[in-house]
Copies of this chain bind each other. A is one copy, B any other.
Amino acid sequence: MFSGAQLSLHPMRDDFVAIILGAVTALDPWRAQLRIETDDVSTLVVGPPEALFPAMRDLFVRAAASEAHCVLHATVSRGCPGEPDDPICAPGAARPAGGAMAARVAAAAERVSGAPPAGRVVAAQFSIYPLGVADAPGGHMAEIMGCIDFLKASGCFERSKHFCTKLRGDAGPVFATLAEAFASFGAPEGHVAMDVTISANSPSAV
């Protein structure tokens, strides 16, 4: 199953280039598990879910350590029928889960509770799109509503917004929550996309 993300990192400071280049070094420990390509709008990161989300976390926490107001945007996808398969994407422990919704919600929340803190408070908001599941019971909205139940149990839930859900907390459990949402909702072998925005050091954060 092909999986990966297009990442764009935005430090809102004159020295944004230096902050980005410094943060990219935080990806070094993950490079053996990921394929990485960059252009002027985003960086493609291809690999399994269990490497994607920790790599995003490390990239973002390193950028936020500059104390600049930083935002990371990620377009994350798995199982797109239009993408080639790639052996680097083979999921291990984070293999997408199937089964009864209540059990998936409880198992995902339990795994997030064990996520170690990263020492940086972040706000995050995201949408999950389970595609091609109109014929499943309840259609795509049943998967979205189940995911929202999980988010409310994750310890990171801040509030529901139009078109997305907002989280707030330490980057460790917040990125673990995003990883669980990605792997636990939508069909296990299905096409699932996420649109993620993560913010730190905002002058307008409450």
Contacts of A193 in B (CB 8 A): 127, 129, 163, 195
Contact flag A163-B5 (CB < 8 Å), given A12-B11, A16-B12, A125-B42: yes
CA distance A4 to B8 in the complex (A): 23
Contacts of A40 in B (CB 8 A): 123, 199, 202, 204-206
Instruction: Of the listed stretches A25-33, A49-57, A107-115, A134-142, name the one at the interface; the rest are far from the partner chain.
Output: A134-142
Instruction: Of the listed stretches A73-81, A91-99, A149-157, A175-183, name the one at the interface; the rest are far from the partner chain.
Output: A73-81
Contacts of A81 in B (CB 8 A): 141
Say yes or no: B125 contacts A164, CB within 8 Å. no
- Check: A120 CB closer than 8 A to any chain B CB: no
Q: Smallest Cβ distance from A161 to chain B, in angstroms? A: 7
Contacts of A76 in B (CB 8 A): 163
Contacts of A16 in B (CB 8 A): 12-13, 69
Say yes or no: A44 contacts B134, CB within 8 Å. no
A1-57 residues with Cβ-Cβ distance < 8 A to B are 2, 4-6, 8, 10-14, 16-17, 39-42, 44, 46
Contact flag A4-B75 (CB < 8 Å), given A12-B12, A17-B203, A204-B40: no
Say yes or no: A75 contacts B127, CB within 8 Å. yes
Select the residue from A41, A164, A199, A206 with max chain B CB neighbours within 10 A.
A41
Q: Smallest Cβ distance from A129 to chain B, in angstroms? A: 4
